[in-house]
Structure 1
Amino acid sequence: HLLRTAFLQQGFNLSEVTEKIRTSLNVRVKVLSMTDHIVATKIKTPSGVMEFQEYFVKRKFQDPVEDVTYEGASLATPAPGVIPAIENADVIVLCPSNPILSIGPILAIPGIRDSISKTSAKIVGVSPIVGGRSIKGPLDRIMENLGLEVSPFGVAQLYKGLMKGYVIDQIDRSTVPKITSLGMKVLATNTLMDSMEAKTKLARETINFAETLA
């Protein structure tokens, strides 16, 4: 964060900063920013509206969440390369990140969600909720605060119209009928990535599952 901020203060845009960091770390895959515009996630709580870092880092996400907004998103445009990457992809994986705090801001950028919904790529998601709880972070309590079902189905509802397939943990097999009612095929497997072997296995299963989708 400090290095990124320093580069931005020098006048580089976020895409340029991302590329500098990628090459310095010898990351071989292309990494794209969602936008070069300023977009701020704002958290509305009973104590007032907070910047994301205040809510998440300073206050350790202890405040009840009443609403989440993405300030500046409606005026932003996708960063260079984002839309072509979506249009030319064979498979798109919505990783088990927080759909409200992490993936939500990306989908809020005009053109990105629409491009994903129209691409010919096979799109799958991996549930960040396992057994009624988020594996990491405050997603479960945020969903509860916002009146959403804290389950793979609750997350799938947020992605309705985007995903063709959804990977959930085997402990949540009971949610399969509700998820399929949204028009998604479901793979139930072990999604807990507690070792490199488990991470690799889940990645392979997810890609193989995606390739079976029409």
Structure 2
Amino acid sequence: MNSRRPRITLLAGGVGGAKLAVGLASICEPGQLSIIGNVADDQAFHGLWVSPDIDTLTYTLAGRIDSSKGWGLADESNRVLDGLKRLGCDSWMYLGDQDMATHIMRTHLRQQGVRPSLIAQRIAESFGVQSNIVLPTDDRVQTRIRTPQGWLSFQEYFVREQCQPEILEIQLDGLERATVTAEALAAIREADLLVIAPSNPIVSIGPILAIPGLGQAFALSNAIKIAVSPLIGGATVKGPADRMLSACGYSCNNLGIADCYADLIDGLIIDQQDQAEADALKARGIDVMVTHTLMRDTADKARLAGELLQFAQGQLTEEKQAC
């Protein structure tokens, strides 16, 4: 990073990723921040293509998110879903009436052959989002989870089954046919700072980095690379990341997070409750910042984003001195 405002690219999925995106957006100028979101949670419901993580990013950055749930739109109604219930349709995936409009538009444009990346940009612009929301691939890649009851889509596991079944295996369907978008490669290539949000490293960040060509571009970038741990006191604030780490053979602590991002990051931001792990992380050659990582409100999000930028600037200064 130099005297001009740094170009930042954030890899994000889910609620934690959206919160940090808001924090960074609050201290960035328009065009300074790009966010590569997770599309492996996408699934069709009622004939509509739903992209939960991308929509959560969009709605959160637009200030339209239902803050009580962390997803969906505020001031929502559900008359369409009630009607579908009366008709005997599965209704375990909550989709509000305003939210349905997003999915109708997305599905209509996809059927017309419009690239998903352009659709995501159009939806973000319609909500007044100024940050650049980027898809890692325009191809269909979907997380599948094997349980004792069989294979489930991510939404079946996460929403319908409430993350209760034992996880036996996690895989990405469609990965062998996926290609990275030019927009994602440009966002990584042009970044001065690459940030991994406090998102689930297995099913939110992992699918982004797994897209052929994207993980390699991230690894080869000369940008400063910092991850924010999703763990506080060895557990997640929300979601099954801790159980998924264990199921995939990683320790459910910040050393496990570091293992997920081995050879990819220069620094890791951890919560004060986990300060005892800092020395072990530093012994691995990872710079560590210890702070309060829980983002309860707008001030917390902006504070953490500001501290992240200061941490990155400190790493750059150290690199220059080493040279």
Which one-letter code corresponds to 2:145 in the other structure? I
Alpha-carbon distance in structure 1 between the residues aligned to 2:220 and 2:256: 23
Alpha-carbon distance in structure 1 between the residues aligned to 2:125 and 2:162: 32
Shift in Å, 1:80: 2.2
Shift in Å, 1:23: 1.0
Shift in Å, 1:184: 1.0
Match of 2:264 in 1: 162
1:22 and 1:160, CA in 2 relative to 1: closer, same or farther beyond 3 A? same
Match of 2:224 in 1: 122
Match of 1:51 in 2: 153
Match of 1:109 in 2: 211
- Deviation readout 1:39-77 (Å, 9 max, x if unpaired): 011111111111111111111111111121111113211
Alpha-carbon distance in structure 1 between the residues aligned to 2:251 and 2:142: 26
Output the aligned Cα RMSD: 1.3
Match of 1:91 in 2: 193
- Quote the sequence identity (%): 37
Which one-letter code corresponds to 2:289 in the other structure? L
Q: Is the 8 A contact 2:250 2:259 kept in 1?
A: no
Please identify the structure whose Cα radius of gyration is greater.
Answer: 2
Could you tell me which runs of 5 or more consecutive residues in structure 2 were left unpaired when the two chains were aligned: 1-49, 51-102
Alpha-carbon distance in structure 2 between the residues aligned to 1:70 and 1:166: 26
Alpha-carbon distance in structure 2 between the residues aligned to 1:80 and 1:11: 18
Match of 1:40 in 2: 142
Match of 1:193 in 2: 295
Match of 1:62 among 164, 170, 174: 164
Alpha-carbon distance in structure 2 between the residues aligned to 1:143 and 1:56: 15
With 174-183 and 101-110 compared, the bigger mean Cα shift is at: 174-183
Shift in Å, 1:13: 2.1
TM (norm. structure 1) is: 0.95
Which structure would you say has the larger RCO, counting Cα contacts within 8 Å and 6 or more residues apart?
A: 2
Could you tell me which runs of 5 or more consecutive residues in structure 1 were left unpaired when the two chains were aligned: none
Match of 1:211 in 2: 313
SS in structure 2 at match of 1:208 = helix
Shift in Å, 1:170: 0.9
Q: Is the 8 A contact 1:74 1:108 kept in 2?
A: no
With 75-84 and 17-26 compared, the bigger mean Cα shift is at: 75-84
Which one-letter code corresponds to 1:122 in the other structure? I
Alpha-carbon distance in structure 2 between the residues aligned to 1:198 and 1:100: 25
Alpha-carbon distance in structure 1 between the residues aligned to 2:267 and 2:245: 22
Alignment size in residue pairs: 214
